[in-house]
Amino acid sequence: MVNVMTAQTNSRNGLILWLAPPLLWFTVFMLVPYALLFYYSLGSVEYMTFKPGFSFANLGRVLTSAPYLAVLLKSFKLGVITAVGATIAAFPVAFCLAFHTTSRTTRTFVYFLVIVPWWASYLVKAYAWKTILGSNGLINSLLMSLHLINEPLTFFLYNQFSVALTLIYIFTPFAILSIYAQLERIPTNVIEGAKNLGATDFEVFRRVIVPLSLPGVVAGAVITFSLSFGDFVAPALVGGPDAVMISNIVVNLLGVAFDWPMAAAIGIVVIAFAMTLISVAQYLEHKAAVRF
Amino acid sequence: MRALGNRHLAWSLAFAVLAFLYLPLLVMAAFSFNDSSYTGLPFTGMTIHWYTDLIENGQIVDSIGASVYVALGVVALSTLFGLPAAIALDRYSFPFKEAFRRVVLLPIALPGVITGVSLLLFYMLIGIKLSLNTIILGQGTGLMCVTITEVFARLQQIGRNQEEAARNLGATEAEVFWRVILPNIRSALIGAALITFSVSFDEIAVTYLLTGRSNTLPMTIWSMLRRSATPEVNAVSTVVVVASIVLVVVGIRLARGSRAGRAEWSL
């Protein structure tokens, strides 16, 4: 009895010891700032100074009025396009890594080839596409020197296409790593079992590999979606007026319009959305989870 | 046989994707040696001019130092606060644990700009001046989830048997931590530190909003890109890519060492 008591006290002391520092950290640097964000979103701006208030008008505007809602939806759309595009591009590489590398050296080398572009500077990757798609860029120079065109083509750059392409480019390595981590865990005997029971390679792929890869696909797609949804580098570098995304709006509201309450209101809506997304992702991963 | 389907088809698709991943980087590296002040065809000759410019550019050298300082600070904070959070989440049950988990994971899904804005309001309220340290606090909050998820996953993997054995043999809580838990999660901590370092070194959104007078490397490159697209940008980018290759090689080596260590253990 005494022993159980001390064990419990010990465990409670241990819990406090481990939990207190991070709890304090997240309270001070996350929850308090979020509360401030909410407080600011209820106020208004007059002559560039903040006026406290208690109005949900700003939050309402984010969800109903045209520019904000439209940009939110566009960011959502570009996030989905990026997640789907990166998953499609990633699957063949992850598949080869998991099933068609004959030696450990080949596997390590291909893995390395995937990691390098993932770790390469983000800005650099976005900028690189500018040098390819721009009016002085590689494609246009090539087409002009072949005399296929006389004027540089402008539809490659500064639109939603170039933003989507750049984001897919940036997040494909991440999707590869995420899907590969899952494919690697599929036991060989599951595949052999299916083959012995008469499944063709395509059937094994469609009915064994793809379903079992879903946890990795979902995990990768969720992160790819949220990182590209909130991206503000690609739209600023390779996007035009047509490809402004939600983070760019927030930055503009702060730096150009000094409309803090509106920026804060967008922040609150995006936080709520991210919370929902995490819950949905946890549910999906739980549903798709497989134990070998 | 693990091989599945048409090997040639699979590899040609994979090669196409790898080419897609490398084409832009190679184009950029090629143009960094082009002797022309604008990035485009045709090549007008080889030069290392843009690289020597870089070394003489004090702003870039300073900002590399600033980035290293910030990244090390973020790694230190993430380890110091992320490790206890992972242990609390794995080893204990407490009220509102699910809520705590969600809050801790939230920055993964939240745009950096939003983290930045909320912290900016906070700094204004308590009157902190923006500096490299305010960037560290912001990035630390955003990136702590990396350490937490990595260490948490490892703790789940290793289970509690050794820990309980050590306790039964009379080890104190401190001994259990230093001599059982820490050696087991060491490689996860190193891995998390490497990821955190590289993400922090490259971070823009939070930094953009919380930066004071001195700038990190991405912010310096950012302002160069917005001003003009000189080939100097290609040169600095190529240097950054080569540096990241070196880091990746070191990282893979470290990870492999730890994997071997783990295999030994499981025997």
Closest-CA distance of chain B to residue A55, Å? 19
Quick: pLDDT tens for B78-111.
999 999 999 999 988 888 888 898 888 898 889 9
Give the closest of A29, A36, A99 to B125, CB-based. Answer: A36
Give the pLDDT mean for B14-18.
94
CB-CB neighbors (< 8 A) of A281 in chain B: 109
> Residue B22 pLDDT more than 90?
yes
Beta carbons of A172 and B103 less than 8 Å apart: no
CA distance A105 to B40: 37
The CATH code of domain A60-288 reads 1.10.3720.10
CATH class for the domain made up of B58-217: mainly alpha
Dihedral, A247, A60, A255, B225 alpha carbons, nearest 10: 20
Question: Which residue type, as a one-letter code, is found at position A223?
Answer: I
**Six-digit token pair at A62?**
């984010």
Nearest to A87 by CA among A170, A172, A212: A172
Residue A163 near residue A236 (C-beta atoms within 8 A)? no
CB-CB neighbors (< 8 A) of A14 in chain B: 91-92, 173
ipTM given for this complex: 0.86
Beta carbons of B111 and A247 less than 8 Å apart: yes
Using DSSP's 3-state secondary structure scheme, residue B19 falls into helix
Contacts of B110 (CB under 8 A, 6+ apart): A226, A230, A270, A271, A274, B142
A109 HSE (CA, 13 A, CB side):
6
**Six-digit token pair at B182?**
């820490």
Closest-CA distance of chain B to residue A235, Å? 13
Closest-CA distance of chain A to residue B267, Å? 20
Confidence of residue B228 (pLDDT cuts 50, 70, 90): low
Beta carbons of A37 and B108 less than 8 Å apart: no
CB-CB neighbors (< 8 A) of B237 in chain A: 121, 123-124, 127-128
The angle formed by the CA atoms of residues B155, B156 and B159, to the nearest 5 degrees, is 85
> Residue A55 pLDDT more than 80?
yes
Q: Which of A73-82, A102-111, B194-203 reaches the highest mean pLDDT?
A: A73-82
Say what angle helices A122-133 and B231-266 make with each other, to 10 degrees. Answer: 130
Question: Where are chain A's structural domains?
Answer: 1-32, 60-288
Closest-CA distance of chain A to residue B144, Å? 10
Within chain B, strands assigned E span none
The CB density around residue A256, as the number of other CB atoms within 10 Å, is 8
| Residue with the two structure tokens 């481990």 | A18
CB-CB neighbors (< 8 A) of B40 in chain A: 131, 134, 136-138, 140-141
CB-CB neighbors (< 8 A) of A191 in chain B: 1-2, 4
Residue B120 near residue B209 (C-beta atoms within 8 A)? yes
**Six-digit token pair at A217?**
């696909």
pTM of the shown model = 0.89
CB-CB neighbors (< 8 A) of A271 in chain B: 106, 110, 114
